[in-house]
Amino acid sequence: PWRMFHTLRENDPVHWQPEPEPNSGFWALTRHADIVAVDRDPETFTSARFTNLEELDDDQIAIRRSMLETDGMRHVALRRLLQKQFTPRAIAEYGTFLRGLTAKTLDAALPKGTFDFVREISADFPINVLARMLDVPDSDTEKLIDWGNRIIGNTDPDYADVLLHSAESEQYRDLPFRSPASLEVFAYGRELAERRRGGAGTDLVSRLVNQTPADGVALTQADFDNYFLLLVVAGNETTRHAISHTMLALMQHPEQMARLRDDLSIMPDAVEEFLRWASPVYHFRRTATRDAELGGKRIREGDKVVLWFASGNRDEAVFEDPYRFDVTRKNVDHVTFGKGGPHFCLGNALARLEMRIMFEELLPRIADIRLAGDVSRVRSNFVNGIKELPVTVTLA
Ligand code: HEM
């Protein structure tokens, strides 16, 4: 997509993309500045009409809405329920656990010599962290990974999942428009909630079910289901792909890998370049609540406006030589987690720490790592994902 994004940024940065079906066209924003401006203005560009390209009717939205698709006071109230658990300070407390988990993952995978980096290292790692935050047994992580794949990667035939309608679903007649994987996640979350209600647990589920949101309006079953689902999927594939893309970029730039290994203290800045480079989430969508102007174009109330974060991360106006991967780049002003808006990624500190620890632990363990076959990609216009990354490792 990079060439197409470049062409759009140069020639038509606020581009109307008509679609074959009625009401499915959208504005494609490809410049960093426009993406940030819209992300910061939820009153004009709401998330409440949903944040992917799909057009949903009011009934579907009511059933599927999570905090990501909620604006205003209710959004703040929902976000606050778990905000303290995701601050950099709270996340830093997981440092020792993360380092132990990383060491365990690497020490099991690296001696294999030749293996799929995604399967052995990046896939399991983020979900194991989440499993810990949810306080569920390690034996459940396979299930969580599979659900994440089927829900987020659902345009890839390998992960194909079909939308079910209520008539076909015995157990969840009240939940039309959800995929089988989502229904499985709901059943799992509801069981956890049941066991933890009224308890003194400090895990994410206990905190969700034992607090009243700040606006005084209790969580409905749908609120809980969608919150839980968001937690399961939001940090899973995204962080996985960020780690895989970084590994690929480092293999393609061995001199930069050596530079990092020689001075691990530059890792925190390097992680920002990893995130810019990887751009695991291609886009989110907003909907105009009123007529507006963007880049000289007239946006009408009801129009879909798509923020192409991945394109913003290659914008020549912000990044010098944006197609150069450079682990020494400073002040990397990426939009990988959104920027400046109320929906700015809740898990950003966690994702950053996971990536940092992963590469701080990985690099000193290896003398060499190189590609050992074809890289296969997730077919999706939503996640920029790597499905398989065959590598050959020589231990240090
Ligand atoms: C929101 C990306 C990791 C939880 C978002 C948004 C993006 C994003 C682009 C929307 C931002 C906006 O619209 O302004 C990513 C990427 C990740 C990552 C690229 C990994 C590299 C995580 C992790 C978690 C998480 C580890 C938690 C376990 C969330 C939640 C939201 C969110 C709950 C919704 C926040 C809201 O609506 O207020 N993420 N994310 N993310 N992310 Fe992440």
Q: What is the CATH number of the domain that holds 159?
A: 1.10.630.10
Structure tokens belonging to residue 315: 């914008």
Q: Render pLDDT for 244-271 as a digit per residue (tens, 0 to 9).
A: 999 999 999 999 999 999 999 999 999 9
Q: How close is the Cα of 343 to the center of ligand 1, in Å? A: 8
| Residue 106 contacts residue 357 (beta carbons within 8 Å) | no
Which atom in ligand 1 lies closest to the alpha carbon of residue 307? Answer: 13
Burial of 391 (0-12, 13-18, 19+ CB in 10 A): buried
Nearest to 43, CA basis, from 288, 218, 328, 275: 288
| Residue 242 contacts residue 278 (beta carbons within 8 Å) | yes
- Count of domains in the chain? 1
Q: How close is the Cα of 344 to the center of ligand 1, in Å? A: 7
Which atom in ligand 1 lies closest to the alpha carbon of residue 231? Answer: 28
d(CA 386, CA 371): 13
Phi and psi for 369 in degrees, rounded to 5? Answer: -145, 130
Q: What spatial distance separates the first Cα and last Cα of the chain, rounded to whole Å?
A: 37
Q: 177: domain range?
A: 2-395
Q: How close is the Cα of 67 to the center of ligand 1, in Å? A: 11
What is the percentage of the chain residues whose pLDDT exceeds 70?
A: 92
Which atom in ligand 1 lies closest to the alpha carbon of residue 69? Answer: 37
CA-proximal residue: ligand 1, atom 27 (nearest): 347
Say what the pLDDT of residue 23 is. 67
Instruction: Calculate mean pLDDT across residues 39-68.
Output: 90
Q: How close is the Cα of 278 to the center of ligand 1, in Å? A: 14
Which atom in ligand 1 lies closest to the alpha carbon of residue 354? Answer: 26
Residues framing ligand 1 (Cβ under 6 A): 39, 67-68, 79, 130, 230-231, 234-235, 238-239, 242, 280-281, 284, 309, 336-338, 341, 343-347, 350-351
Q: Render pLDDT for 204-256 as a digit per residue (tens, 0 to 9).
A: 999 999 999 999 999 999 999 999 999 988 888 899 999 999 999 999 999 99
